[in-house]
A and B are shown apart, each in its own frame.
Chain A
Amino acid sequence: KNEVEQSPQNLTAQEGEFITINCSYSVGISALHWLQQHPGGGIVSLFMLSSGKKKHGRLIATINIQEKHSSLHITASHPRDSAVYICAATNFGNEKLTFGTGTRLTIIP
């Protein structure tokens, strides 16, 4: 069992829909990262958070430390949001990253 689990693995939605991607982790962490990877492209850091909630434009990330769960929300989704979204946890102690397998999001116009 991977220490970082994401769901769903694949998500297809219509333009304008509210999107939620979930991430659960089983290790002690010092930070939780959300990353975005476009097809054939590099990886971009969207958020890094250790508590509460962060917002950037239409993207919102939340984390519940007690439940070891984080969510990434996209409001008013757009086809350019189509990408793979990756959750990663910084392991408390050795400061290394453990990655989820990613959620492939497709937004249909």
Chain B
Amino acid sequence: NAGVTQTPKFQVLKTGQSMTLQCAQDMNHEYMSWYRQDPGMGLRLIHYSVGAGITDQGEVPNGYNVSRSTTEDFPLRLLSAAPSQTSVYFCASRAVWGGGNQPQHFGDGTRLSIL
């Protein structure tokens, strides 16, 4: 049982490049989400999904796309990377039943630098 797996762990991009951050979980969790963590700020929600085929925007969605074709995978796409997207990105999952009263499981994070 690997939990939540994020790849890559580190990435450097040039402004304007695109890339996909991968996230997979093996706990059959319906709810998956992407956060970014910036110095001096709490984690902020980018996009989330309550099940396959369903996605919605979070607090800071601009510049990012997501899709959820399977329960296990929830990739985050940067369409045209900008220096403001330099951050540490975390994917998380939890069971939907019980609502927010379910523990969140986080991946190890992806440290992304945009030059």
Contacts and interface: CB of A to CB of B under 8 A. Distances in A.
Contacts, number: 61
Given A31-B100, A33-B104, A90-B100, A101 B40 contact: yes
Contacts of B84: none
Contacts of A100: 42
A90 B101 contact: yes
A50 B45 contact: no
A88 B94 CA distance: 15
Interface residues of B, number: 22
Given A96-B45, A101-B40, A101-B42, A45 B100 contact: no
B42 A102 contact: yes
A41 interface: yes
Task: Say which size band chain A's interface belongs to.
Answer: 20 to 34
B106 A43 contact: yes
A86 interface: yes
Interface string B76-115: 0000000000000010100000011111111111000000
Interface of B: 35, 40-45, 48, 58, 90, 92, 99-109
Interface of A: 2, 4, 30-31, 33, 35, 41-45, 48, 50, 86, 88, 90-92, 95-102
20 contacts: A31-B101, A33-B103, A35-B106, A41-B108, A42-B90, A42-B106, A43-B92, A44-B106, A45-B103, A45-B105, A45-B106, A48-B101, A86-B42, A90-B99, A90-B100, A95-B100, A96-B48, A99-B42, A100-B42, A102-B42
